[in-house]
């Protein structure tokens, strides 16, 4: 056989050997992958993602409008369950008072206000971390003692002679909203007291110290059978937006961001809407 002929016969054999080698290599690669435990790749990705995020632990302090007390308390328990070992501490009150405390240096991680105006006090002072975002809205309602003994049906009824009415202070979001509703209705009203926050105004009704108070729908709902609620059309033009923000000097920034994420999550929104809040 000639040399050229021998090469022609050897070429198919070489190609066949190369093909067999590639097949064996492919099988070996496939076997290596299939020998991994199921979900190994997904688990590795999740671990990498988790390790890249700051660990949530320790205490987180939340300053929040008084009207958020019931719903935020529920969310605080959910947060502590989701992040074992954490502790959520709340300070509830009038948004203006809380804002003043923050700008004066009170240590806190999160601020949730009942109006953009009070939030602006904090952000203008440079105490916010990033832009605040609206997470819910709230609408006013008239609270009366059970059974509505004075038969209050409209906002104008609150001006009747001898009727005792409580309002939130004008500097508090619920008070500012009440004034806006009164102005829209062309109504002039002098209450027997201006309260520091919406819960204080509601308490006046629960104790029957006043005949009515202008509060939020969420507060009427939270009070259960202790008060009755009367809706009025002027409230539609005085709906308050609730913004939330992490604070610049937050002692626990990772927990602050995690709490805000919970508030804005589907689970958090469910708790808030069930409490009577409106969608943002």
Annotated binding site for molybdate: 67, 95, 198, 216
Residues annotated within the binding site are 67, 95, 198, 216
Strands 212-216 and 165-168: parallel
Structure token digits, residue 1: 């056989």
Question: Residue 194 pairs with which residues in a beta bridge?
Answer: 167
- DSSP 8-class letter at 251: S
Q: Is 27 left (phi over 0), alpha (psi -120 to 50) or beta?
A: alpha
Please give the backbone phi and psi of residue 71, each rounded to the nearest 5 degrees, phi first: -70, -40
Structure token digits, residue 271: 């708790």
Quote the Cα angle for 201-75-225, to 5°: 40
Sheet holding 212-216, edge to edge: 193-195, 165-168, 212-216, 140-144, 228-230
Please give the backbone phi and psi of residue 92, each rounded to the nearest 5 degrees, phi first: -100, 145
Sheet holding 240-247, edge to edge: 87-93, 59-65, 110-112, 240-247, 128-138
What does the alpha-carbon distance between residue 249 and residue 247 come to, in Å, rounded to a whole number?
Answer: 6
- Is there a contact between 132 and 159 (Cβ–Cβ < 8 Å)? no
What does the alpha-carbon distance between residue 198 and residue 200 come to, in Å, rounded to a whole number?
Answer: 5
């Amino acid at each position: 056989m000639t040399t050229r002929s021998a090469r022609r016969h050897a070429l198919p054999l070489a190609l066949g050997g190369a093909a067999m080698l590639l097949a064996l290599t492919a099988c070996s690669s496939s076997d290596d992958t299939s020998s991994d435990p199921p979900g190994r790749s997904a688990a590795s990705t999740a671990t990498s993602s988790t390790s890249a995020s700051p660990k949530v632990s320790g205490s987180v302090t939340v300053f929040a409008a008084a009207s958020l007390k019931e719903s935020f308390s529920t969310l605080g328990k959910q947060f502590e369950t989701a992040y074992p070992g954490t502790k959520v501490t709340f300070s509830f009150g009038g948004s203006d008072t809380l804002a003043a405390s923050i700008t004066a240096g009170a240590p806190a991680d999160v601020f949730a206000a009942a109006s953009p105006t009070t939030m602006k006090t904090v952000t203008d002072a440079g105490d916010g971390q990033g832009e605040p975002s609206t997470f819910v809205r709230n609408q006013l309602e008239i609270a009366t003692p059970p059974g509505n003994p004075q038969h209050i049906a409209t906002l104008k009824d609150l001006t009747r002679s001898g009727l005792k009415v409580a309002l939130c202070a004008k500097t508090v979001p619920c008070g500012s909203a009440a004034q806006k509703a009164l102005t829209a209705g062309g109504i002039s009203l002098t209450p027997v007291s201006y309260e520091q926050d919406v819960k204080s105004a509601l308490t006046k009704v629960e104790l029957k110290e006043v005949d009515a108070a202008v509060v939020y729908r969420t507060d009427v709902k939270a009070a259960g059978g202790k008060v009755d609620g009367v809706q009025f059309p002027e409230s539609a033009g005085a709906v308050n937006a609730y913004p939330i923000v992490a604070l610049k000097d937050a002692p626990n920034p990772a927990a602050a961001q995690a709490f805000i994420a919970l508030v804005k999550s589907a689970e958090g929104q469910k708790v808030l809407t069930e409490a009577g809040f409106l969608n943002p």
